[in-house]
């Protein structure tokens, strides 16, 4: 449910045209990484979303390739702080630069 809500939020608020910004793997060309990574401010869970949003805005091609994902039942995330930081990140990216 949370993943679905998050996907809807980033599509509406940021215009991000991806199905899932946080699950899976990210691959990026060296030249693209050099151009985009210095612009990414978040170093937490929102990093993926911010990187994808910046790439889309800059006109880079984004391809989603399905992967087989095996969940690690021992991994944890602090849900409320993570949600709050992600919402703050979305808000930051929505605001016009300046």
6-15: Cβ within 8 A, 24+ apart: 6/86, 9/87, 9/90, 10/49, 10/53, 10/90, 13/90, 13/93, 13/94, 14/49, 14/53, 14/90, 14/93, 14/94, 15/56
Active-site residue 48, yes or no? yes
Catalytic pick among 20, 48, 72, 86: 48
Residues taking part in catalysis: 48
């Amino acid at each position: 449910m949370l993943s679905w809500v998050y996907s809807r939020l980033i599509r509406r608020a940021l215009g991000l045209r991806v199905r899932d910004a946080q699950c899976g793997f990210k691959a990026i060309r060296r030249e693209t990484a050099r151009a985009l990574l210095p612009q990414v401010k978040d170093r937490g869970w929102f990093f993926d979303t911010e990187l994808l949003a910046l790439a889309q805005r800059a006109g880079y091609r984004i391809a989603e390739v399905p992967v087989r994902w095996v969940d690690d039942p021992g991994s944890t995330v602090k849900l409320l702080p993570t949600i709050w930081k992600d919402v703050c990140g979305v808000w930051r990216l929505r605001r016009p630069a300046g």
